[in-house]
Structure formats: structure tokens, C-alpha cells
Amino acid sequence: MKKRNLKDRITLDPIMTLVVLIVITIVVSGFLGLLGVQVNYTSIGNDVTLETTQKLVSVESLFSLSGLKYIFTTTVANFVSFTPLSSLIIVLIGIGVMEKSGFLKTAITLLTKKVKKKTVTFAIVFICILSSIMGYLPFVIMIPLSALIFIYGRRNPYIGIIASYAALCAGTGINFLFTSSDSELLKSTLLGSHIINPSYNLGTTSFVFIMLIAVIIISLIITAITENYIAEKLPKYDFPETELEEDLIITNRELKGLVLAVIAGLLYLVFFVYCIIPGLPLSGALLDHSQTFYIDKLFSADSFFSNGFVFVITMFFVILGLFYGIGAKTIKNNKDLCDDLGHSLDGVGKTLVLIFFASTFISIFKRTNIGEVIMASLANILTIQNLGTFPLIIILFIISAIGTIFLPNSNFKWLILSGIAVPTLMDAGIAPEFAQVIFRFGESATMALTPVMAYYVIYLAYLEKYNQNEKPINLFKTIKYQVPYSLVIGFILLALLIAWFIIGLPIGINGVVSI
């Protein structure tokens, strides 16, 4: 009994865990700064000169007066500008209307009532992986929705949260749809390839075959792990008595609400889809026409669609909930609507505190350059002479996987890696497009294991929200849930890469594995 009490006392709340990580980061940066830790890596200037330069990156100590000044002067600004904060609050407004009006419960019950549990899980996982085309926004949409879907299905919401986060993280590196992140990576890949062959070229469909297979396999793998391992390990979830009532019977009133919501939602979607189709009369107004690829026209930094996408999604949710409420008589006046708008924000105080400390930790960690130094050090491993073809594939995969834990940003990682990786692999007969796929698969395997990823805090916050244990859900346990996914996904993706290379199949349209 004493041992259990002692363990309970030393179990850190997630907020305190983040505080400990902040302190450790500051101290470690001071120690590494004192040692003068620094690394050189190869960088490519531009596609005109193709000059390679040696960039020096060193650890910046925050264990100093200047470091303390940085922390105190930027913490509030970092919190206010922290993208997950604003995205979550705005999206929750829309989810609140859908939930409180009854739209979500009715729609989800109707869609999943006669569907097998595994099928529902697979559908969520598959959607999460494909949704990476929208960048990181799906983290603030799919995690809350997945929890609600499992609750309405009378299953532990932890299952939905854990599975959706695993799928969203895997989806950052695998998608047969060409994403805005793929577009940025492609530019770095081409720069690296032009050192060896200035006329080398790639298209947006160069990866589609291998990515399609990867999406299907990983969706099945995540579903299998979720249903056969995670769901079995989690404790029973105690639902309120109101949630244990008999199956929901869809009345004419609810059907009327659903019909109104679907019609209104479709009209809204048609309007915005028309606004992002180039070449039609009065269309394309939301695109950034300065970009070449369509995906960049949608999601570039200057795209009207990209900048307003969170609001677009939120309004879509509000419209669905509002028109359902009008038809089902659950929203009778403006007061009902206004109350629904704030429903999902009730009890969000601790989530905001978590986000505050998470934003502080991530800002401090980035400032120290520790992640960049580790990534550059790993990249230099590829400069070892006489590495064989298969060792190079395995090493690049492992470098990408390990580097992601300390530097989750895909574009930044590949900027450091591509100047070394692409030419080195081309010399060994490995095509640049296959090198990019190796990199993407590697980061898919471990993205879920890093608390440095900005949207990890959404996963942490929702596990804490639905925690029924007296002990808080600690940071290490949240990562422990993701370890089985990471290990199996990593093994499967690496095996897929090696098998694909041996067989020599094209990885996409005009995309090859060897040159």
C-alpha cells in the first residue's frame, strides 16, 4: 500500500511534466553551449548556381542572462501566436454547435448503428491519414471528433483519440494525394538532384503508386493494433447513465433536421469548391495564383483559402449544427444558438494551461537549436564512404526517424538532409524521388513519439479531458500508447521500401527507384 501511495505522489501532472522539460532543456542547452557544440552540414544555394556551402549550426545556451531575457520577453507572444491554440478554440465553436444541437449524435448513430466496430475504426484512421493534405489542421478537428464518435458508439473515447493521433502522425509522411508539404520537399529534392544531373525533373504524381499502397497497408495496421491491442489494454470507460439509455430512435423531427443540415452543408461546400476551381467565371478567388502547383495555390502562405481555412471549416460545422437544430427543434431562438457556440469551450481552462506550457517548451527547444544540431549530425553519417545501396536506404530511413523526434518540421529536416542525401543516393544508383519517399516513410514512423511536435498538446489535452483515473495522464504514458504503432509502422514501411527497390517497380507516374 505504501509503494502505491509513493508512486501516486511522484506521478507528475502533464503540466508539471512540461515544466520539467522546460527546465531540462534550459540546463542542457547551457551545458552544450558551454562545450561549444556545433555541427557543419552541406546546403545548396539555389537552382541557378547549384553552389554547395557548409552551414554551421551551434547550440544556443538559454542558461544565461540573455536566455532568460528571451524566455521572459517572448513567452506571451509565443502563446498568443501558437497556431494550435487559435485553431482549436475556433474549431471547437463549430463542434460545440454540432454536438449540443444533437446533429453529431444523430448523424453518427445513423451512420454507425449497423457497422462493425473495426469498420468504424478503419474509416476514422483512413480519413485521418488522407486529411494530411490539409496540413496540421486535422489534428484539431479529428481528435475531438474521434473521441465523440467513440462515445456515441459507447466505446472508450481513448481508443478514438489514440488511433486518430497515430493515423494523423503517420499521415504527415504518407499520402497518395500530393500535399503542400510534398511540394516544398520536392523543391529541395530537385536542388539536390541537379548537383548530379542538372536536367533531372519530377512531377506531382511521381510518388502516387507507392504512397497508395502505403496508405492502405498502414490504415489496416493501425486499425489492427487499435482493436487487437490498444482497446484490450485500456480500462473500462464508465459512461454517465444518460449515455446508457436504449439505442437512439431517429424520429421524423430528427430526420427533418438531418435533411436540412445536409442541404445547407452541400450548398455551402458547392460555393467554396467553386471558389477554388481555377478557370471558371468568377472562380478561383480564394487561390494564390502566383504559385505553380495547384496544391500550393490552395495552401501557400499567401492563399486566401489557406489563411481562412480554419474559419471555413468552423462555419461549415456551425451551419450543419444550426440547420439541424432548426429542423429538429433543438435550436429555437438566438439564445439557444449562442449557448451552443460556447458548449465545447466549457471546462477548457486546463487545456489552455497545457497549451501555454507546451508553446513555451517548443519555443525554448527551437531557440536552443538542439534539434537542428542533432539533425545535422545525423545527416553527416551519409558522408561515410563506400556505403552500399541497401545500407544507405536503411540509414536514411533511421536518420529520418530519429531526427523527427527532435525536429518534427518536415521541410526544415529535408533542407538539412537533401543536400547530402540526394547526391549521395544518386551516386549509389538510387533515384531522388525514392530518396524523398525513404525520408517521408522514416518520419511517419516516429512523428507520434515526439512532444516537440506542436499538435502533440491537442492529443495530450484530450487524453486528460477524458481521463477517469484519479492519477493524471502523464506525458510518458501518452507516448507509450504510440510506441506499438511506431514500431510496427516503422518495420512495415522499411520492409516495403526494400521490397519495392528489389522488385524495381515504378513508385509513381515517371517515378523510379533507381537510375
Output the DSSP codes for 226-245.
IIIIIHHHSPPP---GGGGS
Tell me: pLDDT of 241 over 70. Answer: no
The percent of residues in the chain predicted with pLDDT above 70, rounded, is 95
Distance CA 264, CA 330 (A): 17
| The predicted structure's pLDDT at residue 69 | 92
Using left for φ > 0, alpha for ψ between -120 and 50, and beta otherwise, residue 510 falls in: left
- Residue position matching grid coordinates 502563446: 79
Flag the least confident range among 135-144, 279-288, 304-313, 455-464.
Answer: 279-288
Tell me: pLDDT of 72 over 80. Answer: yes
| The predicted structure's pLDDT at residue 434 | 96
| The predicted structure's pLDDT at residue 6 | 46
Exposed (0-12), middle (13-18) or buried (19+): which is 145, by Cβ within 10 Å? buried
Helix (H, G, I), strand (E, B) or coil at 292: coil
Q: What is the mean pLDDT of residues 289-295?
A: 77
* pTM, to two decimals: 0.92
In a domain, 510, yes or no: no
Distance CA 187, CA 193 (A): 10
Distance CA 327, CA 511 (A): 51
Distance CA 459, CA 448 (A): 10
Q: How confident is the model at residue 62 (pLDDT cuts 50, 70, 90)?
A: very high
Residue 470's CB is within 10 A of a number of other CB atoms, namely: 7
What pLDDT, in 10s, does the model give residues 457-512? 999 999 999 988 878 788 888 999 999 999 999 999 999 999 999 999 999 998 99
| The predicted structure's pLDDT at residue 244 | 47
In a domain, 512, yes or no: no
Tell me: pLDDT of 63 over 50. Answer: yes
DSSP letter for 169, please.
H
Tell me: pLDDT of 8 over 60. Answer: no
Residues 208-225, buried b or exposed e (16+ Cβ, 10 A)? Answer: bbbbebbbebbbebbbeb
In a domain, 416, yes or no: yes
Q: Which of 409, 412, 436, 411 is nearest to 422 (CA)?
A: 436
Tell me: pLDDT of 230 over 80. Answer: yes
Structural domain that includes position 125: 2-503
In a domain, 515, yes or no: no
Strand-pair partners of 42: 54
Total of domains in the chain: 1
What pLDDT, in 10s, does the model give residues 355-408? 999 999 999 999 999 999 999 999 999 888 778 899 999 999 999 999 999 999
Q: Which of 407, 413, 484 is nearest to 452 (CA)?
A: 407
Tell me: pLDDT of 1 over 60. Answer: no
In a domain, 514, yes or no: no
| The predicted structure's pLDDT at residue 243 | 53
Q: What is the mean pLDDT of residues 234-261?
A: 77
Which own/partner contact pairs does 381-386 have at CB distance under 8 Å and 24+ positions apart?
A: 382/417, 382/420, 382/421, 382/424, 383/420, 383/424
What pLDDT, in 10s, does the model give residues 327-367? 999 999 898 889 888 888 887 888 899 999 999 999 999 99
Flag the least confident range among 44-48, 314-318, 377-381, 414-418.
Answer: 44-48
In a domain, 192, yes or no: yes
First to last CA, the chain: 65
In a domain, 511, yes or no: no
The percent of residues in the chain predicted with pLDDT above 90, rounded, is 60
Using left for φ > 0, alpha for ψ between -120 and 50, and beta otherwise, residue 174 falls in: beta
Strand-pair partners of 38: 58
Contact call for residues 421 and 376 (beta carbons, < 8 A): no
Q: How confident is the model at residue 154 (pLDDT cuts 50, 70, 90)?
A: confident
In a domain, 130, yes or no: yes
Q: Which of 138, 147, 134 is nearest to 104 (CA)?
A: 147
Distance CA 35, CA 481 (A): 36
> Between these two residues, 284 and 362, which has the higher pLDDT value?
362
In angstroms, what is the C-alpha Rg of the chain?
A: 24
| The predicted structure's pLDDT at residue 10 | 57
What pLDDT, in 10s, does the model give residues 166-202? 999 999 999 888 888 888 899 899 999 988 998 898 8
Tell me: pLDDT of 158 over 60. Answer: yes
Residue 334's CB is within 10 A of a number of other CB atoms, namely: 8
| The predicted structure's pLDDT at residue 49 | 59
Tell me: pLDDT of 7 over 70. Answer: no
Mean pLDDT of the chain: 89
